[in-house]
Structure 1
Amino acid sequence: MSSPSHGRRMAAIVVLVPVMVALALWAFAWPAARTAPRDLPLGVAGPTAAVAQMEQRLTQKEGAFEIHRYADEAAARDALQERTVYGAVVVTDGGPKLLTASAAGPAVAQLLQQAVSAQASATGASVQVVDVVPAPEADPRGAAVSASVLPLALAGVAAGATVTLLGLRGLRAVGTLVGAAALTGLVATAITHSWLGVVTGDWWAVAGVLGLSTLAVAAGPAGLGALLGRPGIGLGALLVVLLGNAFSGVASAPEMLPRPAGAIGQWLPPGAGGSLLRSVSFFDGAAATGPVFTLTWWVVLGLGAVLLGGTLRRRAHSEAPVSDRAPAPARSV
């Protein structure tokens, strides 16, 4: 005959599994089903009158594009290389020219090409497409860069959870997390940069980005675990893996996700790490300040929580009555 506790556990599992499925579907399927440009930064350049007409056509779908005006094609190219815009339409006498940066997101570059071509076809003009910052030949669709986010997130969560479950505290826990993240960054760079060639840029800078991203992920579960115990590990993993990966926008762009998913994703390590990886790998570090700041705060807060949790445990142990402490091992004579 089963005990009441067994019945409660069975009921909890029966309820918990559908809830987790619903949460996962909401996190992953909702952004995928609602992918569309939302204030996507797009530049326009050329003669004032022609640019005004182009801008009017591009803004027919309200809220799709955030238009930035530039004096000429050179200024628009600089904006792409600085990651201020994802593309730019240059109005010329021979028709519109679309400047893209597929390295910032091949899916976005394709969407811009379709949108501008549709607008130009209405006037009978053809569109010349120039990829100013192309994606690497080894990964023209950006699939490998997108796929690298989840393994790094899982590695970070595994490191944070293992440190907590093994009972490492204080500086030992911090040193272990830093060492594991640094080694993960080196291994990941050897695979993605040296072997596969799907990321470019300075080898050590890429290794630093991947290591920092892993450490930022690991610091969340480790810090919450140090303060809350095992429930903290689960909460941290749920936050950085489920929401962080689903809302990262690495496969397209944060501006392609429904609000506020895109913004939330950039506040979490996977999204910030993906944006920083693109900046360092393909854009010489342009627009890297924000993601670096986000990842650094995750590291500082997470590792600070690890140190705080270790201090609180030592204090609680020292203040416990002698009778509640574990007996000291007997000495041999």
Structure 2
Amino acid sequence: MSAPSAAPTAAQATGTAPTAPTAPSLPPGRRMVAVIVLIPLVAALALWAFAWPNARTAPRDLPLGVAGPATAVAQVEQQLKQRDGAFEIHRYADEAAARDAIEDRTVYGAVVVTQSGPKLLTASAASPMVAQLLQQAVTQQAAEEGVRVATTDVVAGPANDPRGAAFGSSVLPLALAGTASGAMVTLLGLRRGRAVGALIGAAALVGTAAATLADSWLGLLGGHWWAEAGVLSLATLAVGATVAGFASLLGRAGLGLGALLIVFLGNPFAGASSAPQMLPEPVGALGQLLPPGAGASLLRSVAFFDGAGALTPTLVLTAWAALGLTATLLGDLLKRRTRPSGPSTPEPTPTPAPVPAH
């Protein structure tokens, strides 16, 4: 006589597997308080990040050259140093050396002392705001002495963007595009090779479209088209890989951290509409170590200065892109290795058969 089987469990009776208990979500009241508190904090952070640097714009150790006879140069240098650390003075033998320094992006401009009077060299392509500031500072000083200053724009900016407003506004769309690509890769569940392929492909198309709009259509850039497209693609990839890498390592909280780093810090600290030396310290230096600031600096070098000064921002963008892609590739694997394994399910104990009564 066979033994009767044990009574089926509720899960077996319904045909479903038992599920692990889920952690209770926040009560509606706490969620409401979180919205009320967090949104003003985000607004205050955005206002601080975007408005504070612009409200404190002023030259701080701005590289400026002086050239000419030693006696006359010493007098000009002494006058410039009276502006409380506004300028970092570089001496050059003559006007040709000063022009080379401007074209190499070593200085933003130069004051050349000649027999006919002082001459100001600027580079509006490096920063229209700085060029205007130098012109005001030098001409004002010369006007007090009754001297007229001749101004020459050594590396002029594009005629379609004389104030640099369009160039400065190009940083935020690229930051948003890169952030969106990293977020979509995460939210769509792409992992490892597919995630890397999606990030690279999206960045390449963004760079191509941006170069087409900024160079071919609007005429805001003046360099080689493919070089500009490459810079825009690399900047977008650095942002997207950073966001996706944070998310791969930290989960969805990494999306918020990536957006904070890129949009709320990297974009306003880039100094694209002015210059890094025009922002409060150490904001200007910090911005050049983040993808938006490095991307804007590299794009200026490629578009207007034949690649001069491109090494440092290229290394910064490459480092962010490489680290982000590596984190995207390995993050899921690392989380699997560090995830604690659940308790093993014990083998069911057979129920003894009942002894028949005699």
Q: TM-score, normalised by structure 1?
A: 0.93
Structure 2 partner of 1:101: 123
Matched letter for residue 251 of structure 1: S
Structure 1 partner of 2:149: 127
Structure 1 partner of 2:20: none
Matched letter for residue 67 of structure 1: I
Task: Quote how far apart the aligned CAs of 1:4 are.
Answer: 7.1
Deviations 1:113-163 (A, max 9, x none): 000011111211011000000001111111111111100000000000000
> Is 1:291 the equivalent of 2:323?
no
> Is 1:88 the equivalent of 2:110?
yes
Structure 1 partner of 2:95: 73
Deviations 1:162-195 (A, max 9, x none): 0011110111100110000011000100111111
Which of structures 1 and 2 has the bigger CA Rg?
2
Deviations 1:71-93 (A, max 9, x none): 00000000000000000000112
Task: Quote how far apart the aligned CAs of 1:46 are.
Answer: 0.4
Aligned pairs for 1:6-155 (under 5 A) are 6-155=28-177
Any conservation in 2 of the 1:102–1:135 contact (CA below 8 Å)?
yes
Q: Secondary structure at the match of 2:66?
A: strand
Task: Quote how far apart the aligned CAs of 1:13 are.
Answer: 1.2
Task: Quote how far apart the aligned CAs of 1:313 are.
Answer: 4.6
Matched letter for residue 118 of structure 1: Q
1:202 to 220, 224, 227: 224
Any conservation in 2 of the 1:58–1:119 contact (CA below 8 Å)?
no
Q: Which moved more, 1:309-318 or 1:115-124?
A: 309-318
Structure 1 partner of 2:212: 190
Task: Tell me how far apart the structure 2 counterparts of residues 258 and 239 of structure 1 sit (CA, whole Å).
Answer: 18
Structure 1 partner of 2:197: 175
Matched letter for residue 149 of structure 1: V
Task: Quote how far apart the aligned CAs of 1:317 are.
Answer: 8.4
1:231 to 253, 258, 270: 253
Any conservation in 2 of the 1:177–1:215 contact (CA below 8 Å)?
yes
Task: Tell me how far apart the structure 1 counterparts of residues 89 and 58 of structure 2 sit (CA, whole Å).
Answer: 16
How has the CA–CA distance of structure 1 residues 4 and 80 changed in structure 2, closer, same or farther, with 3 Å as cutoff? Answer: closer
Task: Quote how far apart the aligned CAs of 1:315 are.
Answer: 4.6
1:249 to 271, 276, 288: 271
Give percent identity, aligned residues only.
Answer: 67
Total equivalences in the alignment:
321
Task: Tell me how far apart the structure 2 counterparts of residues 94 and 133 of structure 1 sit (CA, whole Å).
Answer: 23
Structure 2 partner of 1:306: 328
Which structure shows the bigger proportion of residues in helix conformation? 1
Task: Tell me how far apart the structure 1 counterparts of residues 338 and 305 of structure 2 sit (CA, whole Å).
Answer: 50
How has the CA–CA distance of structure 1 residues 106 and 163 changed in structure 2, closer, same or farther, with 3 Å as cutoff? Answer: same
Task: Tell me how far apart the structure 2 counterparts of residues 207 and 37 of structure 1 sit (CA, whole Å).
Answer: 31
Structure 1 residue runs without a partner (length 5+): 324-333
Structure 2 partner of 1:262: 284
Matched letter for residue 51 of structure 1: V
Task: Tell me how far apart the structure 1 counterparts of residues 253 and 134 of structure 2 sit (CA, whole Å).
Answer: 44
Structure 2 partner of 1:326: none
Matched letter for residue 140 of structure 1: P
Task: Quote how far apart the aligned CAs of 1:30 are.
Answer: 0.9
Runs of 4+ deviating beyond 3 Å: 313-323
Deviations 1:263-322 (A, max 9, x none): 110010000000000000000000000000100010011111101112235557896679
Any conservation in 1 of the 2:103–2:155 contact (CA below 8 Å)?
yes
Matched letter for residue 181 of structure 1: A
Task: Tell me how far apart the structure 1 counterparts of residues 26 and 197 of structure 2 sit (CA, whole Å).
Answer: 44
Task: Tell me how far apart the structure 2 counterparts of residues 21 and 134 of structure 1 sit (CA, whole Å).
Answer: 38
Q: Secondary structure at the match of 1:249?
A: coil
Any conservation in 2 of the 1:279–1:285 contact (CA below 8 Å)?
yes
Matched letter for residue 221 of structure 2: V
Task: Quote how far apart the aligned CAs of 1:219 are.
Answer: 1.1
Aligned pairs for 1:269-280 (under 5 A) are 269-280=291-302
Q: Secondary structure at the match of 2:75?
A: helix
Q: Secondary structure at the match of 1:88?
A: strand
Task: Tell me how far apart the structure 1 counterparts of residues 55 and 161 of structure 2 sit (CA, whole Å).
Answer: 25
Any conservation in 1 of the 2:63–2:88 contact (CA below 8 Å)?
yes
Any conservation in 1 of the 2:249–2:335 contact (CA below 8 Å)?
no
Any conservation in 2 of the 1:58–1:65 contact (CA below 8 Å)?
yes
